[in-house]
Amino acid sequence: MTESAPSKRTQVGRLPQRGDYSKATIHSILDAAFLCHVGFVVDGQPFVIPTGYGRDGDTLYIHGSAASRMLRNLDQGIAACVTVTLIDGIVLARAAFHHSMNYRSVVVLGTATLVEETEAKAEALRIISEQIVPGRWKDARPPTAQELKATTVLALPIDEASAKVRTGPPKDDEEDYALDIWAGVLPLSLQPGTPIPDPQLKAGVDEIPEYALHYRTQD
């Protein structure tokens, strides 16, 4: 465990040895992914919606595709939880009880607010885009004023956050190591396939950009 939890509610409860509150760990996990699950509450009911995000320093920008339902309640900001999870493998222990996953996850709690100013919103969208496909933004047709207006971006400070990480082989009970059961880790990772050109691609525009040909995820 590195450093201490920034708040009681971010303290890792179960298996606290897997908790990590260092900025370096939290940022490195956030930088290795691009999809988050945003949690918010409407009339006492929790909602969890997947969406893209980007990190800039100590701020998380969340694409507003998740926001349609949130926005009904969003004026001075809304209590949110943003969780990012990378699955690195399935841990096959000898005991069913000790089966686990290798993973890196971050939970950020806080108040999400709208990014309203036009230039700040454009910059936040660039950050989200570069997090998802680094290198793409400069090639794409930039958003018009109208498109910017139609896009919602939320900002969430990354100061009340915790990471949780599991790595390595299974941990079985001492006596179970004598059992005739294969044990180990099945690695899993999000892998890119071969880019599929748009069937409506303009003639002559057939060179697949480097960032799509050699996309790297979850480093």
For tokens 């493998």, what's the residue?
Answer: 89
Contact between 212 and a second copy per CB under 8 A: yes
Q: Does the protein bind a second copy through residue 113 (CB under 8 A)? A: no
Choice from 83, 123, 157, 159 touching a second copy (CB under 8 A): 83
Q: N- to C-terminal Cα distance for the chain?
A: 22
Q: How many binding residues for a second copy (CB under 8 A)?
A: 95
Q: CA 35, CA 23: separation in Å to the nearest integer? A: 19
Give CA torsion, residues 30, 35, 37, 38, to 10 deg: 80
Query: According to CB under 8 A, which one of 75, 116, 119, 207 is a site residue for a second copy?
Result: 207
The count of C-alpha atoms lying within 13 angstroms of the C-alpha of 204, restricted to the half-sphere facing its C-beta, is: 0
Span 117-146, contacts to a second copy by CB under 8 A? 125, 129, 132-133, 136-137, 139-144
- 112 in Cβ contact with 124 (< 8 Å): no
Nearest CB to a second copy, comparing residues 74 and 125: 125
Greatest extent of the chain over all pairs of C-alpha atoms, in Å = 67
- β-bridge pairing 19-20 and 160-166: antiparallel
Is 17 a residue that touches a second copy (CB under 8 A)? no
Q: Give, as ranges, the residues between 18 and 77 that touch a second copy (CB under 8 A).
A: 35, 37-42, 44-50, 52, 65, 68-69
- Other beta carbons within 10 angstroms of residue 198's beta carbon come to 8
Question: Of 146-185, which residues contact a second copy (CB under 8 A)?
Answer: 147, 150-151, 169-170, 176-185
CB 59, min distance to a second copy, A = 19
186 in contact with a second copy (CB under 8 A): yes
Query: What DSSP designation does 143 have?
Result: P
Minimum CB distance to a second copy smaller for 157 or for 215: 215
Q: Is the Cβ of residue 119 or residue 207 nearer to a second copy in the bound state? A: 207
